Amino acid sequence: MALEALRQEVWKCNLELPKNGLVKMTSGNVSGRDPETNLVVIKPSGYSYEDLTPADMVIVNLEGDVVEGHLKPSVDTATHLYIYRHRPDVFGVAHTHSPYASSFAALGQSIPACLTTTAMLGGEIPLGGYVPIGGEAIGEEIVRRIGHSLAIVMQNHGVFTIGKSARQATKMAVEVEEIAHITHLALLRGQPIMLTPEQIADVSDLYTFAYGQK
Ligand SMILES: [Zn+2]
């Protein structure tokens, strides 16, 4: 994908965060990596979604140098870049403090695999330990703990999702919040029925090979 197309895609993905109720004001961000140049398009720091235009998006290299853009990149840029440098299969990262998922973060709980949608993300959504915000250390903890999941809950903080595109990472951020919401409601009323590893593997295969168009 050409860099300009990626800029448009990442801009649209960022707008999906407030549209889906995952962020308030300026929090949250989505980035995407161009497979040809390894350049990363990311949201500018502390910038409101309402004012965001494609030209405001910041382009950085994997070392964090701004290659293009008139604004400062997101404070979470170092985290995104660490993930890209250590996960060559990842081309999109999203980060939110979406409320239901972040309530699991506040409790220091992973999100159990009691829904087929949870299985779609790889099963139980793992918990990463507490890490001070704004640096590479969050990226290190994510890479260490995320395993084959497409999402992780970071203790006392929020959610990071990954994908083979910015679009997929964004979709997973929406899915995680819905999963967290339903799981929360279920936990209020009883003990959710957990999926077996076989059931998780079946759903995961279906999602990988049969889901969507093409
Ligand atoms: Zn955050």
Q: How far is the CA of 132 from the centre of ligand 1 (A)?
A: 10
Q: Which domain holds residue 93?
A: 3-209
Query: How many angstroms separate the CA atoms of 81 and 73, rounded?
Result: 12
What pLDDT was estimated at residue 78? 97
Looking at every residue in the chain, the average pLDDT score rounds to 95
Give the pLDDT mean for 64-87. Answer: 97
pLDDT per position as a tens digit, 142-189: 999 999 999 999 999 999 999 999 999 999 999 999 999 999 999 999
User: How many angstroms does the Cα of residue 196 sit away from the middle of ligand 1?
Assistant: 32
Is the pLDDT score of 1 beyond 80? no
When pLDDT is averaged across residues 33-51 and rounded to a whole number, the result is 96
CATH number (domain holding residue 152): 3.40.225.10
Rounded-to-integer distance, Cα 16 and Cα 148, Å: 25
Instruction: Identify the pLDDT of residue 61.
Output: 98
At position 188, the amino acid (one-letter code) is: L
Q: What integer pLDDT is reported at residue 84 of this predicted model? A: 98
Distance (Å) from CA 213 to ligand 1 centroid: 33
Q: Does residue 165 lie in a domain region?
A: yes
187 Cβ contact list (under 8 Å, min separation 6): none
Q: How far is the CA of 33 from the centre of ligand 1 (A)?
A: 20
The verdict on residue 173 lying in a domain is: yes
Ligand 1 centre to CA of 93 (Å) is 13
d(CA 84, CA 102): 23
| 214 inside domain | no
Q: Judge whether 32 lies within some domain.
A: yes
Determine the distance separating the centroid of ligand 1 and the alpha carbon of 189, expressed in angstroms.
30
Ligand 1: centre distance to CA 98 (Å): 10
Maximum CA extent, the chain = 52
121-145 pLDDT, tens per residue? Answer: 999 999 999 999 878 999 999 999 9
Provide the number of structural domains found in the chain.
1
Query: Distance, CA 75 to ligand 1 centroid (Å)?
Result: 9
Cα 159 to ligand 1 centre (Å): 8
Reported confidence tier of residue 205, pLDDT bands at 50, 70, 90: confident
Residue 205 inside a domain? The answer is yes
Kindly state whether residue 20 falls inside one of the protein's structural domains.
yes
- The structure tokens listed for 154 are 């970071």
Coil, helix or strand at residue 205: helix
| Averaged pLDDT for residues 63-89 | 97
Section 23-37 average pLDDT: 95
CA distance 16 to 174: 9
- Tokens for 124, please give them: 């139980």
Cα 154 to ligand 1 centroid, rounded to whole Å: 9
Confidence band (pLDDT; 50, 70, 90) for 207? Answer: confident
Q: How far, rounded to the nearest angstrom, does the alpha carbon of residue 84 sit from its chain's CA centroid?
A: 12
State what percent of residues in the chain have pLDDT above 90.
92
How many whole angstroms from 206 Cα to the centroid of ligand 1? Answer: 32
In a domain, residue 194? The reply is yes
| pLDDT of the residue at 5 | 97
